Amino acid sequence: MQETKSTCPYCGVGCGVIIESDGAQITGVRGDPTHPANFGRLCTKGSTLHLTASSPITLQTRLLQPLHRAQRSDAPQPLPWDAALNLATEKFANTIQNHGPDAVGFYVSGQLLTEDYYVFNKLAKGLIGTNNIDTNSRLCMSSAVAGYKQTLGADAPPACYDDVKHAQCLFIVGSNAAWAHPILFRRIEDARAANPGMRVIVADPRRTDTAGMADLFLPIQPGSDVMLFNGMLHLMLWEGWTDAEYIAAHTTGFDELKALVRDYTPERVAQTCGISVADLTTAAKWFAQSKATLSLYCQGLNQSSSGTAKNAALINLHLATAQIGKPGAGPFSLTGQPNAMGGREVGGLANLLSAHRDLANPQHRAEVAALWGVADVPSKPGKTAVEMFQAAADGEIRALWIACTNPAQSMPDQATVRRALQRAEFVVVQEAFATAATCAYADLLLPATTWGEKTGTVTNSERRISRVRTAVPAPGLARHDWAIAVQFAHQLEARLRPGQPTLFPYTTDDADQGAETVWNEHRESTRGRDLDITGLSWETLESAGPQQWPLPEGSTTGKARLYEDGVFPTPDGRARFAAHAWQPTAEQRESRYPFSLTTGRLRDQWHGMTRTGTLGRLFGHVAEPSVQLHPQDMERRGLKNGDLVYVTSKRGTIVVPAQADTTVGLSQAFMAMHWGSEFLSGCSSTGERLAGVNALTTSAYCPTSKQPELKHAAVKVLKA
């Protein structure tokens, strides 16, 4: 038996795993006791990884060779790799030459490895000259990115997992960590048991499993988070619970914020949020007066039309009370995907550049152009996820390359996304699983490797970089994501810049060597930046294990906690308060659509179920989709458990069994995000066949982060 250390490919906790294999097949998996993210523990998903990797069912679901269809109505036919890459090159080069570089777009994934991400980013921005590259991380973390940058000056989560045990007050908001980040939640349970004085506040529209352990549960109305945070600050000011000394020494902009929150009176806030003044006051007091307050937050804050405001308003509380830069304190965004952080680090979003540089900054563009050896990086902002599919639906983007993500299920407003995929003249889907709904829209399908087969690095929520390692060979003709991008880039270079030296000097014959060369280039791009990892080689990761950034040349270990000196990465070294007024959700309940639909994860499923859906035991927790409603709402509509209902938004309708659930508030409805076409059918408002909850969700997005409001839509529920 062979043992290979790697990292779990599911959530942003980033647990270390040891893969057992016979050299050809993965036979087992267990937690890595030496990995600082989990110390050997694994949740249900992580501990069944081997069963989803090597079962006959899983292998039947894999894409094992390139496939092409000449007509959209044809069944895809096998194509040799060379011919597949020639075809992709031909189509993309012609589109670029005839319609300009912005006529193509790349939509990639927070599940790619950092090396994959780096190459795709360089391919789009460096070689082709378009910033039309975005990722499903836009749907996951872009509001957290914008919130950190707006207030603290850099996209750097300042806390670490170890802070959980040092915290005296935990403020968990918009996160069901018990299900979405289970191994981190075990730490919270341990810390609580070891420290009975710890207070836990949970704010969430649903009484989740996480809320079940709260000392104070705030069942806030969907979208009322900024109201809550501003109201807490109002009380802190009134009661003298802020830290005037810290504010004066380390921040700017407090006067403007103070003037703003004057109107957030306890009565107004309590009424809008749907909580009591007493609970609001308790929350403000515990947050401000504990020795160390740690906020943990996730998609409830991010997937919102005011996502940046929610993130910034929460960080304001930490700055106003000096709950940052010390053990057990700070704002700590939990990453949804395993490598959304790595993608941010290489600048793999339409508005970013390598190493946390900004596309809008001419100096940053010049630095990246010099690093890549190109004349320039275009200044025109690229299309973000929602904008990219809208542009394809409008005919502006003509060729799309989609890698390791499934927009035909996971993007909001599915009717628009599917129109985009149908209208695009050429769609490449680079994917491991043939069952991903997006495959049905591909002109060219390229088989990619996945967990257990890949090599590279990922970064988890606490800025910790871990190795992902190959345990078994690629099945069929599948290739590594970064290598596919490099091979395509080599062919495209011959068309776009003939006779010039390659921008992609990485061997694809030796995966480890090639990926390490990419890593070293990325590493060098971080020199002098806030995430400087020039001291972190693959050799160090091998000998010393996973490390947190920054880790500049000359350092031996990374930094567990940021801003301990009160100096922030802003021009004047001070953090900035951001004054954001509360805005309601993009859609509000009204007489025709009287329910607030919220969405979320299940404990044992992952994204669109391409991997977890192959394993029967992972349906033991929740076997089938449902819309959960408060028992009183069920009764008023004459519904019994299991009755089929139409759930309808302005964009579509799905048919699903109703389920009474007291964890859901009155006039609210909850649905899990995972169920796709095999489980949940419906149609668009114009009758087109659609599936899954995203037939209903809205693509309205935060004006700053452009992250769509997947967490809220107004719906009606009628008996079918």
Contact footprint for ligand SF4 (CB under 6 A): 8, 10-11, 13-15, 38, 42-43, 45-46, 181-183
Closer CB to ligand SF4, 11 or 292, in the complex: 11
Min dist. Cβ of residue 43 to ligand SF4 (A):
3
Find the helix or strand (DSSP H, E) in which 514 lies. helix 511-525
Closer CB to ligand SF4, 286 or 332, in the complex: 332
Beta bridge partners of 433: 62
Closer CB to ligand SF4, 159 or 421, in the complex: 159
Min dist. Cβ of residue 613 to ligand SF4 (A):
15
* Whole-angstrom distance, CA of residue 578 vs CA of residue 656: 42
Min dist. Cβ of residue 459 to ligand SF4 (A):
13
Find the helix or strand (DSSP H, E) in which 230 lies. helix 225-239
Closer CB to ligand SF4, 113 or 664, in the complex: 113
* Whole-angstrom distance, CA of residue 134 vs CA of residue 383: 7
Q: How far is CA 386 from CA 96, 115, 135, 299, 383, in A?
A: 22, 25, 10, 17, 8
* Torsion from C-alpha of 69, 73, 74, 75, nearest 10 degrees: 90
Closer CB to ligand SF4, 184 or 669, in the complex: 184
Instruction: Assess contact for 561 and 554: CB atoms under 8 A.
Output: no
Closer CB to ligand SF4, 13 or 269, in the complex: 13
Min dist. Cβ of residue 7 to ligand SF4 (A):
8
Report the candidate in 507, 545, 546, 596 with the shortest Cα–Cα distance to residue 224.
596
Min dist. Cβ of residue 10 to ligand SF4 (A):
3
Min dist. Cβ of residue 227 to ligand SF4 (A):
31
Min dist. Cβ of residue 463 to ligand SF4 (A):
15
Order of strands, edge to edge, in the sheet holding 426-431?
A: 77-78, 67-68, 444-447, 426-431, 399-403, 104-108, 133-135
Closer CB to ligand SF4, 12 or 76, in the complex: 12
Q: How far is CA 100 from CA 426, 569, 679, in A?
A: 15, 37, 41
Closer CB to ligand SF4, 118 or 185, in the complex: 185
Peptide bond preceding 222: is omega within 30 degrees of 0, i.e. cis? no
* Helix pair 511-525, 481-496: axis angle to 10 deg: 70
Report the candidate in 229, 254, 256 with the shortest Cα–Cα distance to residue 243.
254
Beta bridge partners of 353: 357
Find the helix or strand (DSSP H, E) in which 312 lies. helix 307-320
* Whole-angstrom distance, CA of residue 357 vs CA of residue 364: 6
Closer CB to ligand SF4, 54 or 525, in the complex: 54
Min dist. Cβ of residue 38 to ligand SF4 (A):
6
Min dist. Cβ of residue 31 to ligand SF4 (A):
7
Min dist. Cβ of residue 538 to ligand SF4 (A):
21
Closer CB to ligand SF4, 181 or 206, in the complex: 181
* Whole-angstrom distance, CA of residue 256 vs CA of residue 260: 6
Closer CB to ligand SF4, 7 or 653, in the complex: 7
CB atoms within 10 A of CB 593: 18
User: What is the number of the residue whose Cβ is closest to ligand SF4?
Assistant: 46
Q: How far is CA 170 from CA 38, 233, 241, 327, in A?
A: 20, 17, 17, 13
* Whole-angstrom distance, CA of residue 197 vs CA of residue 209: 21
Instruction: Assess contact for 322 and 254: CB atoms under 8 A.
Output: no
Closer CB to ligand SF4, 606 or 670, in the complex: 606
Min dist. Cβ of residue 338 to ligand SF4 (A):
7
How many contiguous H segments (helices) and E segments (strands) does the chain have? 25, 30
Closer CB to ligand SF4, 181 or 580, in the complex: 181
From the number of C-beta atoms within 10 Å of its C-beta (0-12, 13-18, 19+), residue 363 rates as exposed
Min dist. Cβ of residue 456 to ligand SF4 (A):
16
Min dist. Cβ of residue 546 to ligand SF4 (A):
13
Instruction: Assess contact for 416 and 393: CB atoms under 8 A.
Output: yes
Instruction: Assess contact for 376 and 365: CB atoms under 8 A.
Output: yes
